[in-house]
């Protein structure tokens, strides 16, 4: 993700901020422009301090503090382009539901940031009642003994609200022997199923995809049962990004898709901070990288991998220094990189032509922030992986599907403050080679 700043005072701000921690200006996100803007009231609408913007309104989900995105005031839409996809939100009068749903929206908005940055086609249910992308945020109902299964079905993504409970999610992660389980990871995985429908099945690329991910015509239900009964095959790391990816080619695709999103977003963040990885112990170019390109527009998967491997090595090492588990506890084998390459290709091929002028993402080389940003959720942490690097634990992902139905959506986001940054354009730098 890019870095953002308050146009009123120059303070750096987080994507989720509602107000500038330094000058108090209200803030909001302009999804089309891909920037945060400070805003000032103008009658019953808002005026952006970012240049060349129309008058604005906040998404209606600002009311429950679940969204900070802005909408042109002359549009009839009540919700922003991220919240417009909500079909069902939880009963906010129930204890903890509001807090958990906010956490969900936090992650969902980051998902949309990346989907928009990749210029992926996005339709909601009112635009495409058959295949529009929609979300049901549902809670288990102990009285009815109904359990919500997180999953995807024909454009509808259902997420069990309890996944937003850190203790519950950590328990599930441990029980399922997963090295990584996050809300953002769930969203990125589930939306991968949606884009398989659109960019593979409905785009005439089924055979091409099957050649890489395997034959998806095998019975999905049987495959999942087998996976949960027998676990992943031995040496799955040689060909899959996670143990769960071995369950069925659809899950392999969704898992790999999620990693593509993890990688481009994290690389953009690294680039925005001007990170350069030059380990003192080796001249191996595969472990060096100047991360100064926009991964959303990278010309090839190789370009992304060449930057990603050194970064994961550095990030995992940083985490280990703090006593944490690896930030990116996965290994990218050659077959997995090939799968990532397929996903890169279909995303690039589908990218909706950019409407706004200029390039996305400004990469700042000279980073002279005087103070670090305050984190929304506490300390901010980064990630990593590596070629001939210390191996992490073992990967896995999230569960299957099952949707119910319920009430309608709502809106609004969280907040927090941050620090401040300077500008300065970066440039493209040739990347070293990659590893195997
Ligand atoms: Zn400010
Ligand atoms: Zn919204
Ligand atoms: Zn799945």
Q: For 333-379, how does the pLDDT look when each residue is reduced to its tens digit (9 = 90+)? A: 999 999 999 999 999 999 877 655 444 433 333 222 333 344 443 33
Residue pair 157/149 in contact (Cβ under 8 Å)? The answer is no
Give pLDDT, residue 126. Answer: 86
Q: For 174-210, how does the pLDDT look when each residue is reduced to its tens digit (9 = 90+)? A: 999 999 999 999 999 999 999 999 999 999 999 999 9
Of all residues in the chain, what percent are helix, strand and coil, respectively (each to 5)?
35, 10, 55
- CA of 76 from ligand 3 middle (Å) equals 35
Q: For 92-114, how does the pLDDT look when each residue is reduced to its tens digit (9 = 90+)? A: 999 999 999 999 999 999 999 99
Q: Which residues, at least 6 apart from 363, have a Cβ–Cβ distance to it below 8 Å?
A: 271, 272, 274, 292, 293, 294, 425, 426
User: CA 57 to CA 39: how far, in whole Å?
Assistant: 10
- CA of 237 from ligand 3 middle (Å) equals 18
Ligand that comes closest to the CA of residue 189: 3
- Mean pLDDT lowest for which of 17-21, 187-191, 378-382? 378-382
Ligand that comes closest to the CA of residue 89: 2
Task: Measure Cα distances from 75 to 45, 53, 55, 79 in Å.
Answer: 12, 13, 10, 10
User: CA 396 to CA 35: how far, in whole Å?
Assistant: 34
- CA of 21 from ligand 1 middle (Å) equals 7
Give pLDDT, residue 351. Answer: 85
- In 53-130, DSSP assigns E strands to 56-58, 70-72, 86-88
How does residue 141 score in pLDDT terms, banded at 50, 70 and 90? confident
Residue pair 268/15 in contact (Cβ under 8 Å)? The answer is no
- CA of 401 from ligand 3 middle (Å) equals 7
User: CA 394 to CA 179: how far, in whole Å?
Assistant: 6
- CA of 88 from ligand 2 middle (Å) equals 14
- CA of 271 from ligand 1 middle (Å) equals 23
Tally of CB atoms within 10 A around 64: 17
Name the average pLDDT for the chain. Answer: 85
Sign of CA dihedral 317, 276, 113, 105: positive
Sign of CA dihedral 59, 60, 65, 67: negative
Q: Which residues, at least 6 apart from 64, have a Cβ–Cβ distance to it below 8 Å?
A: 92, 98, 101, 102, 410, 411, 412
User: CA 317 to CA 384: how far, in whole Å?
Assistant: 8
**Mean pLDDT of the 412-416 span:** 37
**Mean pLDDT of the 310-322 span:** 97
For residue 435, pLDDT beyond 90: no
Give the torsion through C-alpha atoms of 382, 386, 390, 392, to 10 deg. Answer: 60
- CA of 299 from ligand 2 middle (Å) equals 32
- CA of 261 from ligand 3 middle (Å) equals 15
Return the DSSP state at 4: E
The percentage of residues in the chain with a pLDDT greater than 90, rounded to a whole number, is 77
Instruction: Compute φ and ψ for 194, nearest 5 degrees.
Output: -60, -45
Give pLDDT, residue 436. Answer: 33
**Mean pLDDT of the 300-325 span:** 97
């Amino acid at each position: 993700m890019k870095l953002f700043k308050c146009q009123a005072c120059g303070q750096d701000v987080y994507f989720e901020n509602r107000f500038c921690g330094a000058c108090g200006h209200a803030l909001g996100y302009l999804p089309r422009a891909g920037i945060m803007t400070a805003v000032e009231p103008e009658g019953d609408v808002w005026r952006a301090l970012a240049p060349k913007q129309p008058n604005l309104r906040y998404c209606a989900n600002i009311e429950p503090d679940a969204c900070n995105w802005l909408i042109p005031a002359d549009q009839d839409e009540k919700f922003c382009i991220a919240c417009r996809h909500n079909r069902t939100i939880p009963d906010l009068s129930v204890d903890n539901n509001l807090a958990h749903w906010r956490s969900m929206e936090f992650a969902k908005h980051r998902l949309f940031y990346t989907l928009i940055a990749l210029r992926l086609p996005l339709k909601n249910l009112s635009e495409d009642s058959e295949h529009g992308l929609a979300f049901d945020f549902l809670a288990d109902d102990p009285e009815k003994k109904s359990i919500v299964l997180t999953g995807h079905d024909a454009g509808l993504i259902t997420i069990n609200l309890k996944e937003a409970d850190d203790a519950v999610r950590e328990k599930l992660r441990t029980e399922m022997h997963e090295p990584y389980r996050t809300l953002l990871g769930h969203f990125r995985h589930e939306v991968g199923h949606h884009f398989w429908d659109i960019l593979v099945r409905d785009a005439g690329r089924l055979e091409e995809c099957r050649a890489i991910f395997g034959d998806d015509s095998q019975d999905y239900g049987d495959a999942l049962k087998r996976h949960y009964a027998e676990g992943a095959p031995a040496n799955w790391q040689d060909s899959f990004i996670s143990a769960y990816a071995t369950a069925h080619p659809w899950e392999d695709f969704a898992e790999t898709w999620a990693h593509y999103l993890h990688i481009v977003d994290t690389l953009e963040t690294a680039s925005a901070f001007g990170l350069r990885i030059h380990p003192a112990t080796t001249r191996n170019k595969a472990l060096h990288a100047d991360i100064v390109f926009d991964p959303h527009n990278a010309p090839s998967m190789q370009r992304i991998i060449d930057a990603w491997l050194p970064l994961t090595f550095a990030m995992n090492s940083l985490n280990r220094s703090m006593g944490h588990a690896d930030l990116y506890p996965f290994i990218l084998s050659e077959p997995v990189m090939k799968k990532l390459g397929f996903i890169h290709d279909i995303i690039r091929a589908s990218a909706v032509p950019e409407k706004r002028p200029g390039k996305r993402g400004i990469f700042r080389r000279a980073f002279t922030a005087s103070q670090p940003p305050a984190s929304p959720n506490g300390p901010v942490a980064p990630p990593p992986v590596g070629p001939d690097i210390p191996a992490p634990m073992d990967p896995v992902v999230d569960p299957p599907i099952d949707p119910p139905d319920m009430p309608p959506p709502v809106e609004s986001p969280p907040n927090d403050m941050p620090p401040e940054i300077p500008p300065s354009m970066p440039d493209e730098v040739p990347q070293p080679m990659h590893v195997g």
